Structure 1
Amino acid sequence: MKKMLCHTPTPGKAPTKIDLDKYRQVAEAILNVLPDEGDGLAFTDLPDLVADYLGESKMQAIGSRTWYTTTVKLHLETEGKIRRVAGKGSQRLLKLVNAN
């Protein structure tokens, strides 16, 4: 089983290895549910939207929706495919154009 090394934008934090197939599924879901303009999407809504996109049976096979969504989201940030919307309040996210 191939693994993906997921990095985080947090300095000094070690990357996490996850199953490559699970990474690809969750990354595809994130990039398809995030808007690329406007106020972005609240991070707190992202795990449920990822699960809705993938379907309950796929999500059960992947595992914890919150853990996998968070891990892949952080890696996508380091790759410059998504970004946090600046401002106060809860974390909001936008997909960068051509991120798919």
Structure 2
Amino acid sequence: MSDQDMIVALHPDPAKQGTRVTKATYDSYRAALLQVIPAGADGVPFTALRELVLPHLPAGLSATTSPGWWTTTVKLDLEARGLIERVPGSKPQMVRRTAT
């Protein structure tokens, strides 16, 4: 796999390093997450994201990847890039798209 096929998924904590991941898989999970995370004030529970993204992934991708790991990794990257945010004070953790 060439370096062009890889990207660094960022982490919202600047003290932590990003993770090198395959761009194609990242793009699939990114698109799925942005489809299921609402922009509304309430957001969606983080714990529900894994199940919510599955129907939005290309056929067979969830069988060849670890959906829980990818959902968490891409969610953290989207937070670091300012595309989504944690709803302050929510328990369990809720996430929503930011108004960009």
How big is the alpha-carbon RMSD for the aligned residues of Structure 1 and Structure 2?
Answer: 1.5
Corresponding residue for residue 39 of structure 1: 42
Corresponding residue for residue 90 of structure 1: 92
Aligned-pair CA distance for 1:96: 2.0
Moved more, 88-97 or 11-20: 88-97
For residues 12-38 of structure 1, the C-alpha deviation after alignment (integer angstroms, 9 at most, x for no partner) is: 211100100000000000000011013
Give the 4+ runs in structure 1 shifted more than 3 A: none
Listed as ranges, the matches of 1:3-82 within 5 Å are 3-54=6-57, 57-61=60-64, 63-82=65-84
Give ranges in structure 1 of 5+ residues lacking alignment: none
Mapped contact 2:28–2:58 kept (Cα < 8 A): no
Q: How many residues align?
A: 97
Letter in 1 for 2:74: V
- TM-score for the superposition, normalised by structure 1: 0.88
Give the 3 Å change call, closer, same or farther, for CA 59–76 of structure 1 in structure 2: same
- TM-score for the superposition, normalised by structure 2: 0.88
Aligned-pair CA distance for 1:88: 3.9
Give the share of equivalent positions with the same residue, in percent.
35
Letter in 2 for 1:58: L
Aligned-pair CA distance for 1:57: 1.6
Aligned-pair CA distance for 1:56: 5.6
Aligned-pair CA distance for 1:55: 5.5
Aligned-pair CA distance for 1:39: 0.7
Letter in 2 for 1:70: T
Distance in 2, Cα, partners of 1:92 & 1:25:
22
